[in-house]
Amino acid sequence: MNKIKALSKDEAKGRIDALTQELNRHNYLYYALDRPEIPDEAYDSMLRELQGLEEAFPELKRPDSPTSRVGIPPTKAFKKVAHRAPMLSLDNVFTKAEFEEFDARIQRFLNARSPIEYCTEPKVDGIAVELVYENGLFVQGSTRGDGYTGEDVTANLKTIQQIPLRLLAPANSQGLPSLLEVRGEVYMTKREFLRLNEEREANLKPVFANPRNAAAGSLRQLDPKITARRRLRFFAHGVGMMEGESFRLHSEMMEAFERYGIPTAPKRKTCKGLQEAFSALETLESFRVQAPFGMDGAVVKVNDLELVRRLGDKTRSPRWAVAYKFSAIAGKTKVLDIRVFVGRTGVLTPVAILAPVNVGGVTVSRASLHTYDELAKKDVRIGDAVLVTRAGDVIPEVYAVLKEERTGKEAAFRMPERCVACGGNIIKEGAYYRCVRGLACNAQLKQTLRHFCSKGAFNVLGLGKKWLEKLLDNGVIHDVADVFLLHEKKEDLLALEGMGQRLLQNLLASIERSKRIQLARFLYALGIRHVGEYVAKQLAEHLRSLEAIERASKGELQEIPGVGPEIAESVSSFFQEPGNMRVIEKLRSLGVVVLNPTEQRCGSSPLRGKTFLFTGELERFSREEAKRLVEALGARAVSTPSAKVDYVIAGRNPGSKEQKSRELGLTIVDEPTFYKIIEANHAA
Ligand code: IVH
């Protein structure tokens, strides 16, 4: 943002080019290599500078700009894209014998005299996509579709940070293919999948069955803003067309992709011959449990690309590769009980309590049945013998009820009529049953408190689940704000079993430290429905103060990238609820200080805390940009004249606001003077 107005077009171009390249390099370090070199703040400030420049000089924005990863408006439907080379699927083998047949077929076809070199890789359970790079620039991305025609999901793919918008290359772009169609898999990590489902459950939305469905649902969103929030990832595993470069081995091509900045699947291995390849497949099978992503098998490919060419394709699948499918992870066990748990938003979830069983290396002793309807559909009864799997390698799931093993003693489950935690009334919302007592329901309060004190929120060290339960059960605290009253309750605390002087001191010190909290964390801590860490950051970044967020209309909220009508509704109604405002007031009165983003960065700006009002048209900036300019200096911009306004900036055709400002006796300045003020304060 620094001195934008003083930049000539040439200077701006130089700066935009440099920032684009630098930011893309840091993206690569961060997302592909997981080895960031600079703190987030430095990245953010470069990104903001680039955004400012691009707004001032829209014609200089580069197609590989990192700012184009979000903020593309939704489309009504995806365009169709014809694949230049068809995207085939793979034949499956399930046993070693079948794999031996595959190897023998290849040997025969090639009339080979020595063992074939193979490359083995995980088969990532995601969605197949094609990314087209022309002279290193990402120009189009599409789904597989029917193999011949897919859907254009370029805008959505651009939101995936791991996908380079421009390939990395030596300075002069030498050594890059002129056309490269990268084939690969868009996927969601198991962890992100669990997080997303938790969020959906809290928001009474249907959960995704497995990471693959979640990734598919997220990629095929007409609004790329939604895709951006889902933190998808990408692995490359092959190529469609390629011009201007060639490789001898599949493994060499994958290594080149990595140099270009394109992530490839981990645990790739080149193997000489059948035996070595098969043992690599077995290693991949045992990697499955700890893999951060869902795997539905492993893929074996002939490594020599000349042999690949000679082998060629059948109609649906290639001759040179095969998928080795892992056996289903399942275990047989018994349903000991079906219990109901109450979540943070009051949803009552039936959970099957199981006799512990090993499912693919993990002991499972409970499985959520999600909703009563789902439970009823499967007809799970207490005492039933069941098969348990892990959906997408993650979530324990009752896969099948072995009805033929029923003895007649099994007991059907009935949903309780009142909340199992507090006895409150229950209502049915869609597929969910929900206790309506909110924070008056202990189960809900318990989880809200845990969320409130958690790492991403107030980060109170030492107040884990165990202590929070004790504090609530013993009546030491009654709501979230009471955490900040604990220093007055030393006696009560010391009376709790397991609490000592030292622990108490550490706890109180941590509470004291957590009182100064960044706006984004504070918003997240409030537990507003639909406001996870990402949305909280967006709100903080764009509105910059709690007051502004409280006041923002639904329309204003929806202008923020990542905020749709549902989130806007939820945020706006949260701040209209007097009970919530009382909690915020109480937190403030107990010494909680919410730090606005500008206060942290522009601590010494002389314009900090000043109020600007813009009226009429400015020559150099849109009103919105001018507003951001002053906000970046710690000042704020309002739209109604009042005694609180320090500067009224009058552009062309100012109108009634200027009149009103004159009546109020405010300081009115013209556009050039405004720039002088800004310049002077930038220099300060
Ligand atoms: S190679 C001609 N390698 O599995 C197809 N595919 O069931 C060559 N997949 O459509 C594909 N991980 O989307 C290959 N390491 C991997 C893979 C992989 C996942 C997907 C791919 C393909 C599907 C076939």
Main-chain dihedrals φ then ψ at residue 369, nearest 5 degrees: -100, 5
User: Nearest CA to 201 among 12, 369, 35?
Assistant: 369
- The 10s digit of each residue's pLDDT in 401-448 is 999 999 999 999 999 999 999 899 999 988 889 888 877 788 888 888
Q: Which atom of ligand 1 is nearest to the CA of 89?
A: 24
How many A from CA of 361 to the centre of ligand 1?
25
Measured at the alpha carbon of residue 40, what is the angle toward residues 37 and 43, in degrees to the nearest 5?
80
Q: Which of 123, 225, 446, 627 is catalytic?
A: 123
- The 10s digit of each residue's pLDDT in 246-275 is 999 999 999 999 999 999 988 999 999 999
User: Nearest CA to 156 among 105, 215, 205, 98?
Assistant: 215
Ligand 1 in reach of 318 Cβ (< 6 A): yes
For 248-272, letters b (16+ CB in 10 Å) and e give: ebbbebbebbeebbbbbbeebbbbe
Residue 146, helix vs strand vs coil: coil
Hunting for tokens 């701006």 — which residue is that?
12
Residue 495, helix vs strand vs coil: coil
Ligand 1 in reach of 237 Cβ (< 6 A): yes
Ligand 1 in reach of 121 Cβ (< 6 A): yes
- Which distant-in-sequence residues (6+ apart) come within 8 Å of 34 by Cβ? none
- Please report the pLDDT score of residue 34 as a whole number: 59
Ligand 1 in reach of 347 Cβ (< 6 A): no
How many A from CA of 90 to the centre of ligand 1?
7
User: Nearest CA to 640 among 665, 617, 613, 667?
Assistant: 613
Q: What is the Cα–Cα distance from 470 to 467, expressed in whole angstroms?
A: 5
How many A from CA of 624 to the centre of ligand 1?
47
Catalytic: 123? yes
Measured torsion, CA atoms of residues 663, 668, 670, 672, in degrees rounded to the nearest 10:
180
Token couple for 514: 């957590």
For residue 484, give the DSSP letter. Answer: G
Measured torsion, CA atoms of residues 174, 179, 182, 186, in degrees rounded to the nearest 10:
100
- Please report the pLDDT score of residue 183 as a whole number: 97
DSSP assignments along 358-396, one per residue: EETTEEEEEEE--SHHHHHHHT--BT-EEEEEEETTTEE
Ligand 1 in reach of 136 Cβ (< 6 A): no
For residue 210, give the DSSP letter. Answer: S
Q: Is there a common fold for 2-70 and 92-325?
A: no
In this structure, which amino acid lies at residue 4?
I
Hunting for tokens 């609820």 — which residue is that?
577
Residue 138: strand pairing partners: 133
User: Nearest CA to 626 among 654, 655, 657, 649?
Assistant: 649
Hunting for tokens 């005299």 — which residue is that?
113
- The 10s digit of each residue's pLDDT in 39-88 is 766 777 788 889 889 988 989 999 888 887 754 455 567 888 999 999 99
User: Nearest CA to 451 among 460, 442, 440?
Assistant: 460
Q: Whose CA is nearest to atom 14 of ligand 1?
A: 237
pLDDT < 50 stretches in the chain: 1-3, 71-72, 599-603, 683-684
Residue 670, helix vs strand vs coil: strand
How many A from CA of 39 to the centre of ligand 1?
36
Chain-centre distance for alpha carbon 484: 31
Q: Whose CA is nearest to atom 18 of ligand 1?
A: 123
The CATH classification number of 602-683 equals 3.40.50.10190
- Please report the pLDDT score of residue 155 as a whole number: 92
Which long-range CB contacts under 8 A does 45-52 form with residues at least 24 apart? 45/601, 46/19, 46/22, 47/23, 48/1, 48/632, 49/1, 49/2, 49/15, 49/19, 50/16, 50/19, 50/20, 50/23, 52/1, 52/4, 52/625, 52/628, 52/629
- Please report the pLDDT score of residue 14 as a whole number: 92
Q: What is the Cα–Cα distance from 355 to 77, expressed in whole angstroms?
A: 48
Which CATH fold would you assign to the domain 438-596? DNA polymerase; domain 1 (1.10.150)
* CATH match of 92-325 with 3.40.50.300: no
Residue 426: strand pairing partners: 435
How many A from CA of 302 to the centre of ligand 1?
14
Ligand 1 in reach of 90 Cβ (< 6 A): yes
How many A from CA of 476 to the centre of ligand 1?
57
State the number of CA atoms in the 13 A half-sphere of 567 facing the CB. Answer: 26
Q: Whose CA is nearest to atom 3 of ligand 1?
A: 237
Which CATH fold would you assign to the domain 2-70? Helix Hairpins (1.10.287)
Could you tell me the end-to-end alpha-carbon distance of the chain, in angstroms, rounded to an integer? 15
- Sort 489 into a burial class: Cβ within 10 Å, 0-12 / 13-18 / 19+: middle
Q: Which atom of ligand 1 is nearest to the CA of 125?
A: 19
Ligand 1 in reach of 359 Cβ (< 6 A): no
Q: Whose CA is nearest to atom 9 of ligand 1?
A: 123
Query: Residue ranges per domain, the chain?
Result: 2-70, 92-325, 330-405, 438-596, 602-683
- The 10s digit of each residue's pLDDT in 5-41 is 578 889 899 999 999 988 888 877 776 665 677 776 6
CATH superfamily of 330-405: Nucleic acid-binding proteins (2.40.50.140)
- Which distant-in-sequence residues (6+ apart) come within 8 Å of 479 by Cβ? 439, 445, 583, 586
Q: Pinpoint the alpha helices (H) of 454-605.
A: 465-473, 490-494, 501-514, 519-525, 533-543, 546-551, 554-558, 565-576, 578-589, 597-601
